[in-house]
């Protein structure tokens, strides 16, 4: 499996994908009538919920949500509000409902790569907007990812057929625009609005509320270290002795660990005494303003944390740097702009947490959050209204 969730070697699977796309294409070509719907292809609820909320508040009668199984609960919330929702993982629903609506829509938002788009025929004035589910990139994706080197020519052609469908990209920087252009081998038509969820960090009322909620659950007399590792396709044990980590950092620190939902180490770490893994339904973006020290590796969370907590500290615990670079790929200039220490051992991590160094995220934000001004959502809405006013 590659990181799109596609099998890249089984001939029977490859053949079935070709049939799948031909069926999608056949249904799509029959659609002659346009609709006024705004379609949101949803797979990352956490990063997309703020955009969904804005679209619902301003275009409640036009919003249609097509969701993957991981995002079903969010989609159901909008169904209760009166929105039409459809399950993308149900092939019958995809052909009978989703493809006709998407093919006739003037505007489609995507928060990920969606394979069925390769078979859809759009009119020349249809806008397909890639919102993406991250504000920046440390690890490689698309054609730059190492796992893509081993796929077939047919696979690559299919990937390109999806990438070709995107007409616009909402981005926070020229840096990210260039990464999309490189990884997708496309000329990028950017919407320089900024990453929409980061608008919250410019809303002091929201920030104060998030902190108040955080400290209603956790002590306010301790510093907080939050460990957020990226998801690894090949499961491997994180080389951290959490008991030792707690002992060495002492009572001044509380340690939180937020793993990817699919990470198989959940139960193991949840049973670690003293390690906080219960976040009382607070999502990651609500935690960040109260985190004193963020520990991560190749995740996209640093691009948000630098705005959520400009006086905070970041440490990159890259225990498998060489291996990960070989298997997945890491941006070649990562070491040049990483806004914090990069360490590979537990001892170095403990030392970095305990011995505070002055950090400034200024140059990092200039590089990665160049377009971010706190009004990304309003700028997007203005752009959408312009499309429907014409």
Residue 32 has pLDDT above 90, yes or no: no
Return the pLDDT at 9.
43
Three-state DSSP string of 42-97:
ECCHHHHHHHHHHHHHHCCCCEEEEECHHHHHHHHHHHHCCCEEEECCCHHHHHHH
Give the tens place of pLDDT for each residue, 220-253: 999 999 999 998 877 667 889 999 999 999 999 9
Q: How confident is the model at residue 266 (pLDDT cuts 50, 70, 90)?
A: low
CB 327 within 8 A of CB 257: no
Residue 8 has pLDDT above 60, yes or no: no
How far, in Å, are 11, 254, 284, 319, 339 from residue 316 at the CA level? 40, 18, 17, 9, 9
Q: Give the total residue count for the chain.
A: 390
The arithmetic mean of pLDDT across residues 30-37, rounded, is: 92
Strand partners, 227: 257, 295
Give the tens place of pLDDT for each residue, 124-176: 889 999 999 999 999 999 999 998 998 999 999 999 999 999 999 999 999 99
The arithmetic mean of pLDDT across residues 359-370, rounded, is: 96
The arithmetic mean of pLDDT across residues 108-120, rounded, is: 97
d(CA 74, CA 67): 9
- Tokens standing for residue 225: 């270290």
Return the pLDDT at 264.
64
d(CA 359, CA 313): 7
Q: How confident is the model at residue 3 (pLDDT cuts 50, 70, 90)?
A: very low
Residue 355 has pLDDT above 80, yes or no: yes
List the domains of the chain with CATH numbers: 11-195+373-389 (3.40.50.11820), 199-368 (3.40.50.12580)
For residues 249-281, one letter each, b for 16 or more C-beta atoms within 10 angstroms of the residue's C-beta and e for the rest, the string is beeebbbbbbbeeebebeeebeebeebbeebee
d(CA 368, CA 342): 18
**H helices present in the chain, as ranges:** 11-29, 45-58, 72-80, 91-93, 99-104, 153-163, 174-184, 204-217, 242-249, 266-270, 284-287, 302-308, 321-327, 334-337, 346-354, 362-368, 376-389
Lowest-pLDDT range of 2-6, 31-35, 43-47, 217-221: 2-6
Q: How confident is the model at residue 368 (pLDDT cuts 50, 70, 90)?
A: very high
d(CA 349, CA 185): 37
């Amino acid at each position: 499996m590659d990181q799109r969730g596609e099998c890249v070697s089984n001939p029977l699977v490859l053949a079935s994908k070709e049939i799948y796309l031909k069926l999608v294409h056949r249904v799509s070509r029959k659609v002659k009538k346009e609709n006024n719907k705004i379609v949101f292809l949803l797979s990352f609820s956490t990063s997309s919920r703020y955009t969904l909320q804005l679209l619902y508040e301003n275009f409640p009668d036009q919003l249609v949500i097509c969701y993957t199984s991981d995002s079903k609960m969010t989609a159901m919330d909008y169904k209760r509000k009166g929105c039409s929702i459809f399950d993308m993982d149900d092939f019958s629903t995809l052909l009978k409902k989703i493809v006709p609506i998407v093919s006739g829509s003037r505007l489609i938002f995507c928060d990920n790569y969606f394979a069925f788009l390769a078979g859809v025929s759009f009119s020349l004035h249809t806008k397909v907007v890639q919102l993406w589910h991250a504000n920046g990139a440390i690890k490689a994706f698309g054609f730059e990812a190492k796992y893509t080197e081993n796929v077939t020519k047919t696979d690559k052609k299919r990937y390109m057929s999806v990438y070709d469908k995107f007409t616009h990209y909402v981005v926070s920087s020229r840096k990210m625009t260039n990464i999309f252009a490189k990884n997708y081998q496309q000329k990028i038509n950017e919407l320089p609005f900024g990453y929409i969820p980061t608008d919250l960090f410019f809303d002091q009322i929201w920030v104060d509320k998030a902190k108040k909620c955080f400290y209603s659950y956790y002590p306010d007399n301790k510093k907080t270290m939050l460990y957020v590792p990226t998801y690894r396709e090949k499961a491997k044990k994180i080389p951290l002795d959490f008991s030792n980590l707690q002992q060495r950092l002492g009572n001044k620190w509380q340690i939180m660990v937020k793993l990817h939902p699919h990470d198989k180490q959940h139960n193991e770490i949840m049973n670690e005494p003293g390690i906080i893994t219960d976040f009382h339904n607070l999502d990651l973006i609500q935690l960040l303003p109260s985190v004193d020290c963020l520990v991560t590796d190749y995740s996209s969370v640093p691009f948000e944390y630098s705005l959520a907590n400009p006086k905070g500290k970041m440490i990159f615990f890259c225990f498998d740097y060489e291996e990960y670079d070989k298997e997945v790929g890491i941006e070649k200039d990562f070491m040049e702009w990483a806004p914090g220490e990069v360490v590979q051992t537990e001892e170095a991590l403990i030392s970095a947490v305990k011995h505070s160094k002055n950090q400034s995220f200024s140059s990092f934000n200039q590089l990665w959050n160049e377009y971010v001004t706190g009004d990304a959502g309003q700028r997007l809405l203005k752009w959408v209204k312009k499309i429907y006013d014409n």
